[in-house]
Amino acid sequence: MKKGKVIINLIVIISIWLGIFASGLWYGTKVYGEYVEELQEEQELLKEEVQAFTKVSDPKTIRLYVKELNKILDDVTFLSKIVESGQTSAESLDAYFNDYDNKLNHVIDGIEMVHSELTKIDSKFKNQIIGLSIDTDENIDMLDELEDNIKDVDKSILNKLRIIEVELDTIRALIKDVDNSKINKLW
């Protein structure tokens, strides 16, 4: 009767320890999975912003603005030659310069807008890279800590299993002594 009770108690203790170990392992895996999902979302956001930066800094757009500026400069040079030759009146020159002044202001505004957007995106991109680097370092530290915790739990379980094994050997020896004793032979 006592042998059965001891064995059942031993099985219950081992089952409890295995349940605790499995729960800890499951929880660690769940937390790590959530963190990986969060990093993936941040990477997608960063990817979208890099694509926006690429679109704004498109060489075709910049070439268009430079081309427009060159046209304006050519027209100004042409007008300068006309004025020198005296072929145009002051009024028509004023209208012409006002028209090109408006065009030049439009091009300058466009360039300033692109520059402003590029500066904002560059600053945001650098901040996100720094943040991502910090997050990566923290993740590595958390993974190292989790690995250490798992090793500690493994060692603890192994130590307890060794203790249980020693206690089982002791119980077996006691059972063997009882089996070999005179009391058992009387039965």
Query: What is the distance of C-alpha 149 from the center of its chain?
Result: 23
Residue 70, token pair as written in the block? 């060159």
The answer to whether residue 173 scores a pLDDT higher than 80 is: yes
- Please check whether residue 121 is in contact with residue 49, taking contact to mean a CB–CB distance below 8 angstroms: yes
> Which residue pairs from 140-144 have beta carbons closer than 8 angstroms and sit at least 24 positions apart in sequence?
142/32, 142/35, 143/32
Euclidean distance between CA atoms 82 and 117, whole angstroms: 40
pLDDT tens, position by position, 57-74? 677 777 777 787 778 877
In CATH, what class is 2-173? mainly alpha
Residue 86, token pair as written in the block? 């005296």
The answer to whether residue 144 scores a pLDDT higher than 70 is: yes
Kind and range of the H or E run holding 16? helix 2-56
Residue 78, token pair as written in the block? 């042409």
The answer to whether residue 137 scores a pLDDT higher than 60 is: yes
Averaged over 9-19, what is the pLDDT? 81
pTM here is 0.35
pLDDT for 186: 60
pLDDT for 12: 82
Q: How many CA atoms lie within 13 A of 179 on its CB side?
A: 7
pLDDT tens, position by position, 73-103? 777 777 777 666 665 566 666 777 787 788 8
Kind and range of the H or E run holding 150? helix 90-180
What backbone torsions phi and psi does residue 91 show, to the nearest 5 degrees?
-65, -45
